Structure 1
Amino acid sequence: MVTLPTHANGVDLTLEELLIYRGPASRNNPFRGLPRTSQRAGQNLSTLKGRGMEFDEVRRYQSGDDVRTIDWRVTARTGHAHTKLFREERERPVMLFVDLGQRMRTGSALMLQSVQAAHLAALIGWQSIAAGERLGGIICCEGAHREHKPRARRQGIAPLLDSLVHIHRQTGSDQEEYLDQGVGRLRHLAHPGGVIPVISDGLGLLPQHLDTLADLGRHSDIRLFQITDPLAQRLSALPDRITVPVWHQGRLSQMDHHDRRLWQQQFASQLHDFEQGCHTRGLRLSRVDAGRPLTEQLDSIWKPIH
């Protein structure tokens, strides 16, 4: 029997249920132990994004040095040519983007997709600070938006968890363009060379949003995490006579056979468009099931489906 995580009821969100992921974050932590000078693929985080080098010191110019790195101010002051030395850039700030909009307040099994999205954000947050990375994020829904610049240790994780709980408690509004604002702010706040985990059901991300993420992916490590619900698989196996109760966007509704067919067709079309949009833009996409505890999916969370 599948059981809810500790302190969770699957619908509401509390700080206590997000704190428990500090322990599981030590398992399969993708932020730990990665050499910054070699390329890694698949489940592991990229090590070659971003600016790559940062200033270290100035020394006398030597034959063979790149003339583009000459420090002209020091050269003018000393009367001898000096060149700048650089070292590999070590910083890899993590900037979470979490969509907690009303379309995420849907669940047919263990928990709402929005609750699982918050759990995943907490897990990645704990993983990043455990590896010594700075953590920030943008959490948004209709009518509510919070953002945090990357900060180290407790100063990074504590306000992020608080914002997840606060935003999740917000009621719906008519501000459908909230993702436009959120993705726009992500472009402004994201640091080159950082890691940007994007957590959503994916179906609210329009082509222009994917274009922005692909553009950010030129200098950052973009990871899309699609929070899924097992409803589609379960509906296809039901007899026609069955009516299904579904909690959707804050209310309980019933789906008969006709409603199920229409919903499945629309869902399949949206899912195909989203997958193709990610694939054509080179965006790596992973899936996390809201019908299973996150701790049962730790081995597959960072593995892309294509």
Structure 2
Amino acid sequence: MSNSRLSYTDGSPLPGDGLVQISRASLIRLKRWGGDLPLRAIRVRSRSSGAYLTRLKGRGMEFDEARPYQAGDEIRNIDWRITARTGQPYSKLFREEKERVVTLWVDYRAPMYFATQGRFKSVLASEAAAMIAWSAHKLGDRLGGLLFSEQGHLELRPRNDVRTTLRLIALLAEYSQKTPPASLPEQRREAAGSALLRINRVTRPGSLVCLISDFRDLDTRTENHLTSLARHNDLILVRLFDPLEAELPRAGWYTVSDGRRFVAIDSADRARRLAHREHYLAQQARLEQICRRHGIHLFQCATNDDLPGILKNSLGRQVH
């Protein structure tokens, strides 16, 4: 991705655009990349494939009507409320939805506003979400979103229109330009847990849910939420990380900044470097294991990687 300065839609420059924050105009320009993402190809191949990485649940089934129970009807489709009211068993009938729901779950907690190389994780998150949003728009799917931070969350109900897509794009830009508040690890974990619980409650079965985060707070609660969400939906996880989070540099003192605060790091201690690396690898292995177990698509991107290329190529490899 180019590091040249881009601009607002009115032409005025946005300092650090594409590095520490990103403008709406820049996210709109990602439309050409999003249109190339093979989301539909994954869904089509999944109908005839048994591979866990391509096992998508398909489109949701929408309630149509209830009728008296007939021999052969599935017990799980009994409408218990009407049955209780009438005293006679009734079954629910469903029809396939004409478009799938695509929901974006995007993390904007304080650690996302960080990078030692390339672009802030928050910028990458906005870019990834925008590309997937443009792909959903092109495919005619209904698009919704849940953006969250330590200060709460914001929801967009799924709709199939360009206004919703552009509204989401504007919010992705706005969140990338926020100044993150100082927060404790407990607050960050609680924010992620609440956002995962909320997405579980509002997501309709058969949806495609794209979760974009650094997933640094992965714990049993997170795993349980992901397991529940994957049971009835298709999940894509985009894990973002900075090279410093994966491995400390060679021995020496280093100063890092999120653009607002500076922190000095001493990497001379070999045991510290080893522990840092092992912690990262353990978290990575745990997330990969969860995804394998539940058929979740996992894409990983460093802050200095080519995000559009990774998404396009990784999705493409899973459909060939």
Give the structure-1-normalised TM-score.
0.78
2:174 alignment counterpart? 166
Q: Distance in 2 between matches of 1:271 and 1:34?
A: 26
| RMSD between aligned residues | 3.6
Give the counterpart of 2:120 among 100, 112, 116. 112
2:157 alignment counterpart? 149
Q: How far off its partner does 1:114 sit?
A: 1.2
Residue 54 to residue 166, structure 1, CA distance change in 2 (3 Å)? same
After superposition, give the CA deviation of every residue in 1:46-92 in whole Å (9 maximum; x if it has no partner): 25464x4653899xx9x987598999xxxxxxxxxxx9875444431
1:19 alignment counterpart? 28
Q: Secondary structure at 1:106's aligned position in 2? A: coil
Give the counterpart of 1:122 among 100, 121, 130. 130
Letter in 1 for 2:26: E
1:99 alignment counterpart? 107
Give the counterpart of 2:303 among 272, 290, 294. 290
Letter in 1 for 2:136: S
Q: Distance in 2 between matches of 1:28 and 1:67?
A: 37
Any conservation in 1 of the 2:230–2:294 contact (CA below 8 Å)?
A: no
Q: Secondary structure at 2:231's aligned position in 1? A: coil
1:79 alignment counterpart? none
Q: Distance in 2 between matches of 1:91 and 1:196?
A: 14
Q: Secondary structure at 2:37's aligned position in 1? A: coil
Q: How far off its partner does 1:3 sit?
A: 3.5
Any conservation in 1 of the 2:53–2:292 contact (CA below 8 Å)?
A: no
Q: How far off its partner does 1:180 sit?
A: 2.1
The structure richer in helix per residue is 2
Letter in 2 for 1:285: L
Residue 249 to residue 44, structure 1, CA distance change in 2 (3 Å)? farther
1:257 alignment counterpart? 267
Q: Distance in 1 between matches of 2:93 and 2:281?
A: 54
Give unpaired runs (5+ residues) of structure 2: 7-16, 80-90
> Quick one: percent identity of the two aligned structures?
26
Q: Distance in 2 between matches of 1:147 and 1:67?
A: 35
Letter in 2 for 1:243: W
Q: How many residues align?
A: 287
Q: How far off its partner does 1:150 sit?
A: 0.4
Residue 252 to residue 9, structure 1, CA distance change in 2 (3 Å)? farther
Q: Secondary structure at 1:297's aligned position in 2? A: helix
Give the structure-2-normalised TM-score.
0.75
Q: How far off its partner does 1:283 sit?
A: 3.5
Residue 66 to residue 187, structure 1, CA distance change in 2 (3 Å)? closer
- Equivalent residues in 2 for 1:1-306 (5 A)? 3-4=2-3, 7=6, 8-31=17-40, 34-35=43-44, 38-40=47-49, 41=51, 46-48=56-58, 50=60, 52=61, 55=64, 66=73, 87-168=95-176, 169-174=178-183, 175-176=187-188, 177-231=190-244, 235=248, 238=250, 240=251, 242-248=252-258, 250-258=260-268, 261=273, 262-302=275-315
Q: Distance in 1 between matches of 2:66 and 2:194?
A: 40
Residue 130 to residue 15, structure 1, CA distance change in 2 (3 Å)? same
Letter in 2 for 1:290: T
Give unpaired runs (5+ residues) of structure 1: 72-82
Q: How far off its partner does 1:31 sit?
A: 2.9
Q: Secondary structure at 1:227's aligned position in 2? A: strand
Q: Distance in 1 between matches of 2:94 and 2:149?
A: 42
Q: How far off its partner does 1:23 sit?
A: 0.9
Residue 250 to residue 198, structure 1, CA distance change in 2 (3 Å)? farther
Residue 49 to residue 139, structure 1, CA distance change in 2 (3 Å)? same
After superposition, give the CA deviation of every residue in 1:92-121 in whole Å (9 maximum; x if it has no partner): 101110011111122121101111011000
Is the deviation greater in 163-172 or in 11-20?
163-172
Any conservation in 2 of the 1:99–1:140 contact (CA below 8 Å)?
A: yes
Residue 243 to residue 151, structure 1, CA distance change in 2 (3 Å)? same
Residue 15 to residue 270, structure 1, CA distance change in 2 (3 Å)? same
Q: How far off its partner does 1:223 sit?
A: 1.5
Residue 229 to residue 67, structure 1, CA distance change in 2 (3 Å)? closer
Residue 263 to residue 53, structure 1, CA distance change in 2 (3 Å)? same
Residue 273 to residue 251, structure 1, CA distance change in 2 (3 Å)? farther
